[in-house]
Amino acid sequence: MDQELDLDAMLERFRDRAEAVKKRNLPPVGGEERQRFIAQAQTDYQDFAMIGDAQATLEEGIVTLTINLRPET
C-alpha cells in the first residue's frame, strides 16, 4: 500500500454514514415504494452503525472488525 490505512477514520466515516441515514429525508413517494425506501434506510442505518461501533485491527495486511452484539447488562 502506498499509504497507511487509518482504521479510526474509516470507522468514523461509517458512523457519519449512519447518522446521515437517520437524517435522510423521505422522497415524495407513497405506498409500496415508500415502504421499500423506509426498509432500505433501516437496513443501511443498521449496517453503517454496526461497522461504526466495531473494533478494528490490521494485522499482516488483514483488517478484522470485531462487533459485539451482546446486549449491555
Per-residue pLDDT reduced to its tens digit, 28-47: 878 888 899 999 999 999 99
pLDDT of residue 28: 81
Q: Which long-range contacts (CB under 8 A, 24 or more apart) does 42-50 make?
A: 44/17, 45/18, 45/21, 48/14, 48/15, 48/17, 48/18, 48/21, 49/14, 49/15, 49/18
* Grid cell of 27 as nine digits: 422522497
For 49-64, what is the mean pLDDT? 95
What is this structure's pTM? 0.79
Burial class (CB in 10 A: 0-12, 13-18, 19+), 53: middle
